[in-house]
Amino acid sequence: MQDRSPEQLPRLITTSISHYCEKVRWALERLNIPYIEERHAPLFHRLATARNEGRSVPMLVTEAGTFSDSSDILQYIDGMSPVSAKLYPADPKLRQEVEKLEDWFDRQLGPSTGVWFYFYLLDRDKLILRLFCEGVEAIEAELFPVVFPCIREAMERAMEITPESAAESLDRINSIFETVNELLADGRKYLVGDSFSACDLTWACLTGLVLMPTEYGTKLPQLSEIPTEMAQTIEHFRATPAGSFALRLFREERDK
Ligand SMILES: N[C@@H](CCC(=O)N[C@@H](CS)C(=O)NCC(=O)O)C(=O)O
Nearest CA to ligand 1 atom 14: 56
110 domain-assigned: yes
pLDDT digit string (tens) for 210-223? 999 999 999 999 99
228 domain-assigned: yes
Q: How far apart are CA 118 and CA 159, in angstroms?
A: 9
**216 and 100 assigned to the same domain:** yes
**98 and 185 assigned to the same domain:** yes
pLDDT digit string (tens) for 2-61? 567 777 899 999 999 999 999 999 999 999 999 999 999 999 999 999 999 999 999 999
* DSSP assignment of 127-165: HHHHHHHTT--HHHHHHHHHHHHHHHHHHHHHHT--HHH
Other residues' Cβ atoms within 10 Å of the Cβ of residue 231: 17
Spatial contact of 246 and 199, defined as CB atoms under 8 Å apart: no
**Structural domains in the chain (count):** 2
Please name which of 202, 211, 116 lies closest in space to residue 159, comparing C-alpha atoms.
116
Q: How far apart are CA 60 and CA 166, in angstroms?
A: 30
pLDDT digit string (tens) for 181-194? 999 999 999 999 99
Tell me if 81 CB under 6 Å of ligand 1. no
**34 and 108 assigned to the same domain:** no
**57 and 182 assigned to the same domain:** no
Residue of 53, 56, 67, 99 to mutate, ligand 1, most atoms within 8 A of C-beta: 56
153 domain-assigned: no
